[in-house]
Amino acid sequence: MSSSSSRRRTSHTPHRRAAGVALAGVAALLAAAVQAGAASAAPADAPAGRVNPAHAALKLSPSQRAELMRDASADASGTAAAIGLGTQEKLVVRDVVKDADGTVHTRYERTYAGLPVLGGDLIVDTAKSGATQRVIRATNASLKVPDLTPDVSKAAAEQKAVARAKALGSSKSAADSSRKVIWAATGKPVLAYETVVGGLQDDGTPNELHVITDAATGQKLYEYQGIENATGVGNTQYSGQVSLTTTQSGSTYTLNDGARGGHKTYNLNHGTSGTGSLFSQSSNTWGNGSTSNAATAGADAHYGAATTWDFYKNTFGRSGIRNDGVGAYSRVHYGNAYVNAFWDDGCFCMTYGDGSGNADPLTSLDVAGHEMSHGVTSNTAGLNYSGESGGLNEATSDIFGTGVEFYANNSSDVGDYLIGEKIDINGDGTPLRYMDKPSKDGGSADYWYSGVGNKDVHYSSGVANHFFYLLSEGSGAKVINGVSYNSPTSDGLPVTGIGRDKALQIWYKALTTKFTSTTNYAGARTGTLAAAGELYGTSSAEYAAVQDAWAAVNVGSRSGGGGGGDGTSFENGSNVSIPDNGPAVTSSITVSGVSGNAPSDLQVSVDIVHTWRGDLVIDLVAPDGTAYRLKNSSYWDSADDVHETYTVNASSETANGTWKLKVQDVASYDTGYIDDWKLTFP
């Protein structure tokens, strides 16, 4: 989350904070008290530069997946007890992924006293033997809510939510639904109401505003829009003459794709509700390449859905958006001159407007891939659509939308790292977003900084988009499929790409087995490193490239240390939990083979995931016990996480020996862990 939070306290008074809880990371073994963030090492014989087949996800049939989910549901109570949940907490199975080595990644939602816990989702990894290997949690906060009786009425919460929706353009006078929940995604878990208000947004997009209200104080804790869209798209993008899978009944053909879960494409004919009419005609040739024929947009949408389905199936073994073999459906000609397209998980459908003047249907291939990928995110990590997690949500759709475009290999729309490049929203031929240098759109962030979560999610997504481009293609100037790119790095150091195919595999595995609803950029680094380690090995070039690409967007340190590979580096990437307002913890690095004393410019790179970093005091402890202060606590520093490289004059110390990073949390209510740290001897 951002650094915009504020608090007031007097000396020695515990503090409270309403801020995002960072991704717990890939947890260590349960015997180590569920410590977050450690990446699993691949087997020693994992082939360098190639996916370790043991950690590749199996292509499960719908019946196999259903059986795994039934088994997990039957064992849910035992799993809850095994991972240390309280007696009032229960687990509800949401998804399963099985690796070739028998490891099962089970994603759960959580309930407390029968109430849904928003931000309480977690992933449990179970070995083939049945032993629990690790737990990844959306929050590390303990679920202890002593009072389950609201002080604020449901009607009052609904009234505030409706007022907020009206301020955003909705004309609804009543909420669609309201329920009691436990809100655990930000700060201390509390009893709350989740109120949903429907209707239309001010630009005509369907509204599904979710407002979370504290049931004790009436304070708004969080809000997000359930309808996820890519705004501003306009010009028609066609894919030339393509093959469509349709259904014939007698002499009638329909846009019904029986080969892809029964995906259907409907004509809303400028309506805004329902499904309209299924495209149906006596000829199996659809559209004429222009807006004069309503079926042209239907053909584009049908092709986009089929290509997206095939991309996920053939790239990741995923069968449909929910991975259950069931197709979604598409609706075209939505509204009147509606300049947008959106995925709605509620109807499990994709919808396209016709653009300005109803002249440019928004049925381009990358838009289809982008929007339907929101459905994949919703049915896997469920990344909250706000703050840094919202930026990751949008970036995931840009990443997979780009993957769809390259996968299609369509000569009329060659693959590129430009988003909405054919739409021309500004009327000057420029794309909507650029992955190689996101700031070229005038609003997106090239690099992470503490306030990036305050930006609109379409702009905060730039950090992850830039990471993905660098991981795929590397930095510097190059031409790909006729498009010129020139990608910079935050530290001025080069990045060597590993190829788009490998980068996609890493991102997908992280999304489906490592990310949770509250994952932020530090957590995304942890998750992608864990995924890269499992797929390619922790000593692989791919693993190092993930480190370097994140460092290049100012998230964490480089694989060779802060000096970009110059000098000798020693690193400890094992996670160490930092107790809230508790004793200091340490992480050790043993240095050997360095002659003489340490230098006067010893580089200490520190990556710590922790909400409200001002609570932390950080020291470097030399082998002889001498402590060098790296960071003092600060009442005013409310930002999340520490990603810094400190310079220490350690010339009086013998270089060889055991060095320690010592970290202490000196105030209450915020938690985290040492993610990684490194010593570099120039």
Catalytic residue ranges: 371, 458
- Secondary structure (DSSP) of 216-280: TT--EEEEEESSEE-TT--S-----S-----EEETTEEESEEGGGTTEEEEE-TT-SSS--EE-E
CA dist 39 → 126, 340, 388, 610, 676 (Å): 15, 40, 22, 18, 11
Break the chain down into helix, strand, coil percent, rounded to 5.
25, 25, 50
Q: How far apart are CA 500 and CA 478, in angstroms?
A: 15
Instruction: Supply 424's token pair.
Output: 């021309």
| Identity of the amino acid at 526 | T
- HEC string of 484-495 equals EEEECCCCCCCC
Token code pair at residue 179 = 């329920």
Q: How far apart are the first and last CA of the chain?
A: 34
Q: Identify the residue whose tokens are 């990437």.
A: 573
Q: CA separation (Å) from 116 to 160, 184, 190, 414, 667?
A: 21, 10, 12, 45, 30
Contact 440, 426 (CB under 8 A): no
> Do the Cβ atoms of 238 and 412 come closer than 8 Å?
yes
Distance between CA 620 and CA 607 in Å, rounded? 13
Which pair of tokens denotes residue 96? 């399963």
Read off the tokens for 565. 């590979």
CB atoms near residue 515 (< 10 Å): 30
Alpha-carbon span 152 to 171, nearest angstrom: 25
Beta-bridge partner residues of 95 = 107
Q: Rounded to an integer, what distance in angstroms lies between the CA atom of residue 452 and that of residue 390?
A: 11
- DSSP reduced 3-state for 161: helix
